[in-house]
Homo-oligomer: A and B are copies of this chain.
Amino acid sequence: MDNKMDTGHDRAAGYEKLSARFGSRLQTSDAVRLHHAHSTTWHKAEPPDAVVFPNNTGEVAEIARICSAYSIPIVAFGAGSSLEGHINAPLGGVSIDFSNMAQVIEVVPEDLLAVVQPGVTRERLNEELRATGLSFPIDPGANASLGGMVATRASGTNAVRYGTMAENVLALECVTASGEIIRTGTRARKSAAGFDLTRLIVGSEGTLALITEITLKLRGVPDYTLAGVATFESVAAACDCVISAIQLGLGIGRLELLDAAQIKACNSYSKLDLQEAPTLFFEFAGIEAAALAEFALFQSLLEDCGATSVDWATDADHRSRLWRARHQAYWAVTAAYPGRTSVVTDACVPISRLAEAIEETRADMTQMQLDGTVLGHVGDGNFHVILMVRPEQHDEMARAHHFIDRISERAIRMNGTCTGEHGIGQGKRAMLAREAGASLDLMRGLKLALDPTNILNPGKLFL
């Protein structure tokens, strides 16, 4: 994919058209442009030339038609919580801010689905669902927009039970690069009718189409929840317990690992006195008797794997106290290194390689003199590293880059993936090429078919 494109006088005419059409809803101030390049990322901010705020799908299609005619790049913007530079505009162009398209259009409790606009955040959706007894369980941590979650194939702590966005989007309305409005999928829970366009667009990071409406699967809020923590002497022992639980097919709600360094940071930040050792945070939820039966089996696994302490609770206050360390993990580690910047990365490996992957990562971190913690959604084999770096120390930054590349390479070598949930964006393009091998050409072919002039989020996914 050639990331260079026509610039100059063509674009200027296009911006004039956009300005004439959208008036004050096309903004070009430095502050607004910079805001739309500022995300939770360590990539240098590359602001768009302008930001436009459409009110509906028809307007998104108009924007696409104008941008297509004048070769103006389009970057979709939701909540700015992506991690790999997805919302940067390295080739300039227009950022489409979906904050005016943030309606929950329909909730259909009897079909366990909701139809939303892309600017709705997951927390807003769940607030609106509160009275129905249903929820949308996918939770990447940040209060991301649902459009962004579709675009990045987000997952998070609940994925071990409910899957990722790939399993929880039933249908989409999208605008294509040429400004056509299309619909993919239906409200049926499965289909064998033609290519699975929905799942092609989920995770395509704004490079294939602009998402303008999403039909999501909902789930009943469980009647009963049991949550707890268990401490282990080693990451390997904790991972063995995870592996056994997954292999037994236990109906685990959530299963998270924090390493000793992370627990130490949490103790300090959240005023806790957890043992500073690798710790599993677990949750079982559903019908009380069923959850208790699953938990009883899990308890015997904890014992077999040598858990040195186990604490659990069922009332909401106690549960939330037990999980506080997990919930505040990110803030705890950033507070532990004042003045530094966080760099977050992730990888996902086959479950049997998890302990090895994490231990080699920790050894690398020590050997490369980097500070940080390891935590993750270990039930999926997905783990994260939060590095705390000093951007002004070029040598440290170079080591951090190298360290992250090695995590990706290790995961790929273990038959895993360079990213379980953060995506490729700008940061992992070289790793995608390595992971995909010959299939990268197929991806390029699809991109060319759907966006022949490369206006949709250029400079992402492909080097």
Interface residues on A, range: 35 or more
Q: Is there an interface contact between A197 and B350, defined as CB atoms closer than 8 Å?
A: no
Shortest CB-to-CB span from A1 to chain B, Å, is 12
Q: Which of A177-234 contact B (CB under 8 A)?
A: 180-184, 186-197, 199-200, 202-204, 208, 219-220, 222
A283 close to B (CB within 8 Å): no
- Hey, which chain B residues are within 8 Å of A411, CB to CB? 188
A446 on the B face (CB < 8 A): yes
User: Which of A186, A286, A291, A293 counts the most chain B CB atoms within 10 A?
Assistant: A186
Which B residues are in CB contact (< 8 Å) with A296? 289
Chain B residues, Cβ within 8 Å of A69: none
Query: Considering residues A189, A248, A249, which has the most beta carbons from chain B within 10 angstroms of its beta carbon?
Result: A189
Least CB distance from A419 to B in Å reads 5
The CA of A190 and the CA of B287, in the complex, are separated in Å by 27
Mostly, the A contact residues are: mixed
CB proximity of A263 to chain B, nearest CB, Å: 25
Q: Does A435 interact with chain B (Cβ within 8 Å)?
A: yes
Contact between chains at A153 and B196 (CB < 8 Å): yes
Closest chain B residue to A416, Cβ basis: B188
Contact of A294 with B by CB under 8 A: yes
Report B-chain residues with C-beta under 8 Å of the C-beta of A166: 190, 196, 199
Q: Is the CB–CB distance between B200 and A200 below 8 Å?
A: yes
Confirm or deny: A382 has a beta carbon within 8 angstroms of a beta carbon on chain B: yes
A415 to B290, CA, bound (A): 34
Interface status of A141 (Cβ within 8 A of chain B):
no
Contact present for B191 and A419 (CB under 8 Å): yes
Interface contact A187-B415, CB-CB below 8 Å: yes
Which of B193, B419, B437, B445 lies in contact with A192, CB distance below 8 A? B419
Q: Which B residues are CB-close (under 8 A) to A393? A: none
Which chain B positions have C-beta within 8 A of A180? 438, 441
* Cα of A445 to Cα of B180 in the assembled complex, Å: 14
Q: Mark A435-449, 1 if CB is under 8 A from B, else 0.
A: 111111111011111
The stretch of A49-57, A365-373, A421-429 in contact with B is A421-429
By a CB distance below 8 angstroms, the chain B residues around A109 are: 247
State the Cβ distance, A32 to closest chain B Cβ, in Å: 29
Chain B's closest residue to A112 (CB) is B247
- For the complex of A and B, the 3 pairs showing the least CB-CB separation, nearest first, are A289-B293, A449-B449, A290-B290
With A186-B348, A188-B415 already in contact, 16 other A-B pairs whose C-beta atoms are closer than 8 Å: A109-B247, A110-B243, A110-B351, A159-B190, A184-B439, A184-B442, A187-B349, A189-B350, A189-B381, A190-B421, A192-B423, A193-B418, A251-B290, A289-B292, A290-B291, A446-B446
Give residues in A with beta carbon < 8 Å to B: 108-113, 152-155, 159, 163-164, 166-167, 176, 180-184, 186-197, 199-200, 202-204, 208, 219-220, 222, 243, 246-249, 251, 286-294, 296-297, 348-352, 380-382, 411-412, 415-424, 428, 431-432, 435-443, 445-450, 461
Contacts A/B (CB < 8 Å), 25 sampled: A109-B247, A112-B247, A152-B192, A176-B442, A183-B438, A183-B439, A186-B435, A187-B350, A188-B420, A189-B350, A189-B380, A190-B382, A193-B431, A194-B424, A194-B432, A195-B200, A195-B203, A222-B249, A251-B286, A287-B293, A287-B297, A288-B293, A293-B293, A442-B450, A449-B449
